[in-house]
Structure 1
């Protein structure tokens, strides 16, 4: 019974059998072909039996394993490797069918490869998850055929493997040393150094035109017989909180990922940059209530705390309660902090409803509102209009794009910083804004 479950007949056998049947049919017209038809059938069955014996005589003809990352990175290409060892004494043809998690909706996955005798081969493919959570792999099925290619034997490995999907830690590694790199333009990140009057002394350097003469160091000037100035760096240990709106407006999808997931990935990367800059990173999310709180600190375990909190954030499809956010910040954040709010305003009216609470937060803290451009609207505006309906759609799209710019101006009027960005540029733009604020020393 077990052999029957493992046995699969290849197409070549069926094609050959059809050919033999055709010869039998012709034998009714040409009797001389009758003996040839029986001879061909006998040869086909002999090769079938030989192929069956050489494949099934070995209990352990091959061995295969699925090698996955410990966790998948959400929104990124993740490599999965299938390692196949051939213990047969002849080359085999392998067809690998991996039962990929249902979230990917891949229904025609297969990899075909020829593997030499007594050798090892790797099959690699990539998966791009768009949701956080657990991904369950099914069976790893490997169908092996001999050079005769009449029958195949199925091997099954790695049943029911589960891999969690976390916020994009691949981006985290990419920008790991971004706060200290001297070649940031390849990433699109601005490196801004401020020569200021903070208490964080960095070095004494020779005066160049443009330096503040108030920072002249007269003792060093006398020793070097040249003008020397004190150089200061950004203040450290400032509180930075990232606040993620998980209401229904953040469920809008772009390139397979929701705005919420873009915000989560950006929060993870920015938290790492903040800690590298010796500031305190914290975060929380809100909708009907405030959750997933991580108090701003700069301990070695802070990134792990933030990662675990981000992993569990899910939208609740409610309209976000900004009054509750305002009360929570006023109650729990006592020191002046930089608050980066990831949210989305589509209309000016939507902003006006929440403006009293945003102004209340900005009164005691430095508030940066991060919201998103609708990239699909840009596609409509750049498309040539040929019908009345297309002209109407283009005008409406331009109206919504212009309204986003009005939102930026409205926030600026009340001293609230803003970042209007496309979802794919969110991480870079928020890092740039943080570095700009640090450089200007306005916190």
Structure 2
């Protein structure tokens, strides 16, 4: 219990009034004696009121409060946090209170203090909007509320233990809200190409009558002879392939592009492609590298597996570690015995090209490989800025040298027939999905 702002104002006002009256009565001794008596009586009454109000404050009913949280939190999205307040059964008067919920640090909320009137027998539900600003685990602390004495001279503070840890996941409302968009329509909106698969290595689907335009190479001559009419064999995509992501969590992925780091752009692209591949019947797995605690998720099928993938990496942040492709590929080869398409999500580092190329050749002997590199967008801005001083010239020259080394590495990847993408972070999701569908069409792994 502590004095309220009202009590402090009353005391301050009384002190100022007494001082002013004392100054006015300083010339008249009789008036001064009468004034002193009146001040003594008034202050005695004030002290009695304050004490009685303090005693009544301790009898304020204790509220029961529960916090209700959404099932999922998505970074950057506002969520409603609901608080349920229940007064004791014997309460007869409404209870005025101010609520303070200890939400996670660095979250944005629309109001920090909730002023409520809790009705007897009915209670109250109130809510506020909270927006998480980063992925990972977040902690809601205790709930504190303040009630006031009948005269409002005292505040009574109580704290309710309600610590809760929640997961803040990437915002995938566009794909998890499958009721809004069909899969193919969603892919088209993302800019992915709608293509059919060609070539051999497909799974047999069914026999049907030949139609104009069908490839005669798919003619089933045995069935044609038996049915006395042209019969064609149709195929469907293989639904038993595996896709594994190698996700770089090193220092190069700390670069920013817009409001997100390169790592967050890579993470979003990985999960979007995972959803696409799972919808196509493929098994998807992942492994992180350049991270103190390597995360590994073996390939599994089914769209329900997407939630397991998200839970595996939702709290990872890029580290200060340098790229170590050799260790990553060693760990992957120990765990992955079956041929798969391995997508390395990284940012190419020109410091050790030979090391990277050698490790990719090792991986190519067992798996199909796709290097998906996020291009640094800052260099394009540097090339457009005027050279006004020596520092600008050094920055421009450094960017040009980096570009030349990057192009040389891309040429070496092409020469060694290593599939690669080198696009801006904003383009990565669409580019990856298109490349995956292209590989599916040609049966390239």
| TM-score (norm: length of structure 2) | 0.73
- Name the counterpart of 2:281: 278
Q: Is the 8 A contact 2:245 2:270 kept in 1?
A: yes
Q: Is the 8 A contact 1:178 1:184 kept in 2?
A: no
- Name the counterpart of 2:5: 11
- Name the counterpart of 1:20: 14
Q: 1:11-160 counterparts in 2 under 5 A?
A: 11-31=5-25, 34=35, 48=50, 52=54, 55-60=57-62, 62-69=63-70, 72-73=73-74, 75-77=75-77, 79=79, 81-85=81-85, 87=87, 94-101=97-104, 104=106, 110-115=112-117, 117-118=119-120, 119-128=123-132, 130=134, 132=136, 134-145=137-148, 149-160=152-163
Separation of aligned partners in 1, 2:318 and 2:176 = 27
Q: Is the 8 A contact 1:192 1:436 kept in 2?
A: no
- Name the counterpart of 2:248: 245
Alignment partner of 2:2: what SS?
Answer: strand
- The answer to which of 141-150 and 41-50 deviates more is 41-50
- Name the counterpart of 2:359: 357
Quote the offset at 1:183 in angstroms: 1.9
Once the two structures are superposed, residues 347-388 of structure 1 have per-residue CA deviations (whole angstroms, 9 ceiling, x without a partner) of: 3x4434311222342354321112223345556566677665
Computed over aligned residues only, the root mean square deviation of the Cα atoms, in angstroms, reads 4.7
Q: 1:128-207 counterparts in 2 under 5 A?
A: 128=132, 130=134, 132=136, 134-145=137-148, 149-163=152-166, 165=167, 168=170, 170=172, 174=176, 181-184=183-186, 187-197=189-199, 198-201=202-205
Alignment partner of 2:186: what SS?
Answer: coil
Unmatched runs of 5 consecutive residues or more in structure 1: 1-6
Count of aligned positions = 426
Once the two structures are superposed, residues 307-349 of structure 1 have per-residue CA deviations (whole angstroms, 9 ceiling, x without a partner) of: 56436867675434333444555565444321111222143x4
Q: Is the 8 A contact 1:98 1:138 kept in 2?
A: yes
Q: Is the 8 A contact 1:243 1:341 kept in 2?
A: yes
Quote the offset at 1:43 in angstroms: 7.3
Separation of aligned partners in 1, 2:129 and 2:335 = 47
Q: Is the 8 A contact 2:135 2:315 kept in 1?
A: no
Unmatched runs of 5 consecutive residues or more in structure 2: 26-30
When residues 41 and 194 of structure 1 are mapped into structure 2, their CA distance, relative to the original with a 3 A threshold, is farther
Structure of higher CA gyration radius: 2
Once the two structures are superposed, residues 43-62 of structure 1 have per-residue CA deviations (whole angstroms, 9 ceiling, x without a partner) of: 765765676466542332x3
- The answer to which of 110-119 and 381-390 deviates more is 381-390
Of residues 296, 300, 307 in structure 1, which corresponds to 2:299? 296
Once the two structures are superposed, residues 204-253 of structure 1 have per-residue CA deviations (whole angstroms, 9 ceiling, x without a partner) of: 699687x7565579999xx9x9x997764422111211112344434556
Q: Is the 8 A contact 1:287 1:316 kept in 2?
A: yes
Once the two structures are superposed, residues 66-108 of structure 1 have per-residue CA deviations (whole angstroms, 9 ceiling, x without a partner) of: 23346655x4446361414264666665433333445x48999
Separation of aligned partners in 2, 1:275 and 1:260 = 22
